[in-house]
Amino acid sequence: MNLVKRSNGRYYITYIQSNGKKNGISTRTKIKAEALKFLSQFEREMEARRLQKLIPISLKEYSNQFLSYSKQIHTQKTYRGYEAALNNLEKFLGGIPITEVTHSKLSEYFENRINTSSIYQARKDLICFNSCFNSAIAEGYILSNPCKSIKRFRLPQKEPVFFHEWEFDLLLSKIKENDIKDIVIFAVHTGLRQMELITLEWSQINFKDRFLVLTNHNHLTKSKKIRTVPLSIKAMQILTDREMKKKGNLIFTFNNKPINQNFISHLFKSYVRESGINPKLNFHSLRHTFASWLVQRGVSIYEVSKLLGHSNISVTEIYSHLRAEDLRSAINVLNN
């Protein structure tokens, strides 16, 4: 809305109607202070009219509705993330209408979340809320997303935890099940994420040209882009052996049944503990290991970024410290 003074000396308010057309209304005064007071009242009335068109619902009711939808379309892990984030928000804000979830209230929530939990958890919550409130707009519950002006929290860079070769060999010696051993070795040779592995199907494998394609059909990749991953000889060997005894569409199964994320994460962690190696290592560390071993063997950060399917090379730069020898070689030119 704009306040303008016309040639007759009176102030008018110009604004855009819901149909997109421009309209104007007189404040019936030539005194600016009175015109500003009129403008403030008019804005409140217009906001009230818009709110009357919204479907009234509490934050708790909408959270339950959104979670019911999430359970149907998202993975169990994603659903649990939404559930935890929304439960925490409800506890902090109480049983307020969803229209009263404002930028300032969310800012207070995130400040508390960082202080009582961590910046990492606050960032996860912000991603969940952003998606949730966008859906609420589409369904006619709110006019705008209160997360819109909250910037994503900048996380401190952490050194990736990966397996040294002796640690990986020791871990493999502890794994009893061939099904688990196959997926672990395949993960280190491809850099695929856990969900990409356990949803991988035979139709995604090109045996002739030795590559696999992540198509977004069975599982959305993090970047939501189709990705081609070349296959090493060891990865091809695992696929060839498993193809000879396949009993369904999925490549990796456990006792011929689909692998559950929680099951393989906990089982993998138990083998890490049994091996007596770095307790911080987990299943995702296999992806870090793939990248780290490539960088240590001279593969460029750019190429590793493409293999991992990172949307931005800056994400891959967490592995650049492993190329310290290259930096020493570079600085040695000063000696010439």
How confident is the model over 101-154, as pLDDT tens digits? Answer: 888 889 899 999 999 988 889 999 999 999 999 999 888 888 889 898 888 777
Domains 59-138 and 165-328 share a fold: no
DSSP for 82-103, written as a single string: HHHHHHHHHHHH-S-BGGG--H
Distance in angstroms (rounded) separating the CA atoms of residues 268 and 252: 15
59-138: CATH superfamily: Tyrosine recombinase, N-terminal domain (1.10.150.130)
Residues 6+ apart with CB under 8 A from 181: 172, 175
Of the candidates 266, 275, 253, the one whose C-alpha atom is nearest the C-alpha of residue 201 is 253
Region 170-199 average pLDDT: 95
- Domain boundaries defined on the chain: 2-52, 59-138, 165-328
Q: Are 25 and 39 in contact (CB under 8 A)?
A: no
Tokens of 216: 């977004």
Report phi then psi at 4, rounded to 5: -125, 150
Which amino acid, residue 235?
A
The 10 Å Cβ neighbour count of residue 277 is 18
pLDDT tier for residue 50 given thresholds of 50, 70 and 90: low
Distance in angstroms (rounded) separating the CA atoms of residues 110 and 60: 18
Residue 157 DSSP class: P
pTM of the prediction?
0.62
Distance in angstroms (rounded) separating the CA atoms of residues 283 and 268: 6
* CATH architecture classification, 165-328: Orthogonal Bundle (1.10)
**Residue 94 scores a pLDDT above 60:** yes
**Residue 331 scores a pLDDT above 80:** no
Q: Are 101 and 113 in contact (CB under 8 A)?
A: no
